[in-house]
């Protein structure tokens, strides 16, 4: 590889959300930067932020400026490129050691979404393959791989939407939790991709969005992007989901995932498990939508998935105002695990897996591409 070539960022078709700034994008060539839409400011302010170092990307992921499993993966891929860039003059072995250090640092940022470690591994391997060509070429290969991840994520999310759009009832209601939309991916989303494709195909339906305490990804982010795309949106308190499901207004639940174990147990935003329990009680199908990069087949079951515990003040303080007595202990797991047997099906880029079984998951990975 010629170490002096410049490498253009991919052009990504962002469908009906093209009017919004991208969730994340690489700006420039080999001397470029990662630009993210700062999701902590939404919906009040549409602000972008640039990250020029691995530390800045780490901070952006940790503080949920960029969040959602696939978006975290792609952000970390670019973060690894940024962190390794100053070391391109080292010998290949020393350069790879630095790549390893930055990768370990980024992987430790948020523990639950497996896409982060998966993306870091892919970019690291891209460097390793070029080791005989020198560090500058290794670094270029990393940037090319990060761009490929971004491009693939958008294409895969679109395929997920196409695979699952028929699950969305014309004239019915859909419930979702947290944000598994364009804001959680490079484009289109996972769970919300089904809704965008169904809407594009002429189906009309009502989308119910759990607000998703404590950080309100449903109210702030999912409602924001669905409204921008012209869908019919209703936000509810998390505590209203069970009675909504009993009411008959919802025909299907669709959520995203942060990590899916080999047996199909699925970690997703805290509160997902409660929605699945209520859906099962009221006979409403409960689907998970996720790319294959969200599966972790090294883990036998959901019991092995590391669950991120975040600071208690995310629970005790709302929009800068204390809503719990000073000093009270708060319990703040960011994710929970829904057992496979409670999941009606998993929508992937390779189709809808139903029922969810370990053999079925293995089969999804045997399919080409
Ligand atoms: O803490 P967050 O906002 O990163 O949590 C996000 C979720 O739980 C999403 O549902 C999941 O990552 C899937 S995103 C396509």
Does 7 reside within a domain? no
Contact 79, 155 (CB under 8 A): no
Residues that are catalytic = 258
Look at 1-10, 18-27, 181-190, 205-214 and tell me which has the smallest mean pLDDT: 1-10
Ligand 1 center from residue 354 Cα (angstroms)? 22
Q: Which atom number of ligand 1 is nearest to the Cα of residue 268? A: 8
Q: Which atom number of ligand 1 is nearest to the Cα of residue 181? A: 15
Ligand 1 center from residue 234 Cα (angstroms)? 20
Q: What is the mean pLDDT of residues 264-293?
A: 98
Pocket test for ligand 1, best of 176, 184, 254 (most atoms within 8 A of CB): 184
Does 3 reside within a domain? no
**Domain end residue (candidates: 158, 179, 212):** 158
**Whether residue 24 has pLDDT greater than 90:** yes
Asked if 288 and 145 sit in the same domain, the reply is no
Does 340 reside within a domain? yes
| Residue of the CA atom closest to atom 8 of ligand 1 | 269
**Whether residue 368 has pLDDT greater than 90:** no
According to the model, what pLDDT value does residue 2 have? 44
pLDDT band at 23 (very low <50, low <70, confident <90, very high): very high
How many residues are there in the chain?
A: 369
Contact 190, 179 (CB under 8 A): no
Asked if 210 and 344 sit in the same domain, the reply is yes
Q: What percent of the chain has pLDDT over 90?
A: 96
Asked if 74 and 21 sit in the same domain, the reply is yes
CATH of the domain at 185: 3.40.50.10470
- Total count of domains within the chain: 2
pLDDT band at 170 (very low <50, low <70, confident <90, very high): very high
Q: Which atom number of ligand 1 is nearest to the Cα of residue 72? A: 4
**Whether residue 12 has pLDDT greater than 50:** yes
Pocket test for ligand 1, best of 209, 268, 286 (most atoms within 8 A of CB): 268
Return the bridge partners of 34, or none: 26, 51
Asked if 86 and 234 sit in the same domain, the reply is no
Asked if 88 and 208 sit in the same domain, the reply is no
Ligand 1 center from residue 83 Cα (angstroms)? 25
pLDDT, tens only, 322-335? 999 999 999 999 99
Asked if 152 and 184 sit in the same domain, the reply is no
According to the model, what pLDDT value does residue 302 have? 98
Asked if 182 and 74 sit in the same domain, the reply is no
Q: What is the mean pLDDT of residues 337-343?
A: 98
Asked if 315 and 192 sit in the same domain, the reply is yes
- For residue 229, give its domain range: 166-366
**Domain end residue (candidates: 158, 187, 207):** 158
pLDDT, tens only, 55-75? 999 999 999 999 999 999 999
Q: Which of 133, 22, 69 is nearest to 308 (CA)?
A: 69
Instruction: Take residue 225 and report the two structure tokens written for it.
Output: 């992007």
Is the Cα torsion angle 123, 127, 128, 129 positive or negative in sign? positive
Distance (Å, rounded) from C-alpha 14 to C-alpha 34? 18
Q: What is the mean pLDDT of residues 198-217?
A: 98
Q: Which atom number of ligand 1 is nearest to the Cα of residue 190? A: 15
Does 21 reside within a domain? yes
pLDDT, tens only, 224-261? 999 999 999 999 999 999 999 999 999 999 999 999 99
Q: Which atom number of ligand 1 is nearest to the Cα of residue 308? A: 1
Asked if 60 and 150 sit in the same domain, the reply is yes
Non-local (6+) Cβ contacts of 349 within 8 A are 156, 159, 160, 163, 291, 292, 369
Angle formed by the axes of helices 135-164 and 69-84, to 10°?
170
Non-local (6+) Cβ contacts of 286 within 8 A are 252, 253, 255, 275, 276, 279, 280, 338, 342, 343, 344
Ligand 1 center from residue 3 Cα (angstroms)? 37
**Whether residue 369 has pLDDT greater than 80:** no
**Whether residue 1 has pLDDT greater than 50:** no
According to the model, what pLDDT value does residue 16 have? 87
Does 2 reside within a domain? no
Asked if 148 and 233 sit in the same domain, the reply is no
Does 186 reside within a domain? yes
CATH of the domain at 121: 1.20.120.420
pLDDT band at 367 (very low <50, low <70, confident <90, very high): confident
pLDDT band at 3 (very low <50, low <70, confident <90, very high): very low
Ligand 1 center from residue 1 Cα (angstroms)? 37
**Domain end residue (candidates: 158, 190, 225):** 158
pLDDT, tens only, 91-146? 999 999 999 999 999 999 999 999 999 999 999 999 999 999 999 999 999 999 99
Ligand 1 center from residue 308 Cα (angstroms)? 12
Pocket test for ligand 1, best of 66, 69, 338 (most atoms within 8 A of CB): 69
Write out residues with Cβ below 6 Å of ligand 1: 64, 67-70, 113, 178, 180, 184-185, 189-190, 217, 256-258, 268-269, 334
Does 8 reside within a domain? no
Pocket test for ligand 1, best of 68, 218, 343 (most atoms within 8 A of CB): 68
Radius of gyration for the alpha carbons in the chain, expressed in angstroms and rounded: 20
Asked if 28 and 97 sit in the same domain, the reply is yes
Asked if 171 and 83 sit in the same domain, the reply is no
Ligand 1 center from residue 258 Cα (angstroms)? 6
**Whether residue 4 has pLDDT greater than 60:** no
According to the model, what pLDDT value does residue 319 have? 84
**Whether residue 78 has pLDDT greater than 80:** yes
Q: What is the mean pLDDT of residues 19-24?
A: 95
Does 316 reside within a domain? yes
């Amino acid at each position: 590889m010629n170490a002096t070539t410049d490498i253009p960022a991919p052009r990504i078709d962002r469908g009906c959300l093209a009017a919004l700034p991208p969730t994340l994008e690489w700006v420039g060539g080999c001397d470029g930067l990662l630009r993210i839409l700062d999701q902590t400011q939404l919906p009040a302010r549409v602000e972008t932020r640039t990250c020029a170092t691995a530390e800045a990307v780490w901070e952006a992921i940790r503080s949920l400026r960029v969040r959602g499993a696939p978006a975290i993966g792609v952000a970390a891929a670019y973060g690894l490129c940024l962190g390794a860039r100053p070391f391109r003059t080292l010998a290949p072995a020393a350069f790879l050691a630095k790549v390893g250090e930055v990768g370990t640092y980024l992987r430790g940022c948020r523990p639950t979404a497996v896409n982060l470690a998966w993306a870091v591994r892919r970019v690291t391997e891209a460097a390793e393959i070029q080791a005989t060509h020198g560090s500058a070429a290794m670094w270029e290969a990393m940037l090319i791989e990060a761009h490929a991840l971004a491009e693939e994520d958008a294409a895969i999310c679109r395929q997920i939407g196409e695979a699952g759009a028929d699950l969305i009832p014309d004239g019915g209601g859909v419930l979702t939790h947290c944000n598994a939309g364009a804001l959680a991916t490079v484009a289109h989303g996972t769970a919300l991709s089904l809704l965008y494709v169904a809407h594009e195909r002429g189906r009309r339906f009502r989308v119910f969005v759990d607000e998703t305490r404590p950080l309100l990804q449903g109210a702030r982010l999912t409602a924001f992007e669905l409204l921008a795309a012209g869908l019919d949106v209703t936000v509810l308190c998390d505590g209203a989901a069970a009675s909504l499901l009993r009411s008959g207004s919802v025909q299907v639940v669709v959520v995203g995932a942060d990590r899916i174990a080999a047996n199909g147990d699925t970690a997703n935003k805290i509160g997902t498990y409660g929605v699945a329990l209520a859906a099962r009680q009221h006979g409403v199908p409960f689907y998970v939508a996720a790319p294959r990069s969200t599966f972790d087949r090294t883990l036998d079951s959901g019991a092995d998935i590391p669950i991120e515990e975040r600071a208690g003040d995310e629970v005790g303080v709302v929009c800068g105002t204390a809503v719990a007595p000073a000093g009270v202990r708060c319990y703040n797991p960011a994710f929970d695990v829904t057992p496979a047997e409670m999941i009606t099906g998993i929508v992937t880029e390779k189709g809808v897996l139903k029922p969810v079984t370990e053999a079925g998951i293995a089969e999804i990975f045997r399919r080409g591409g």
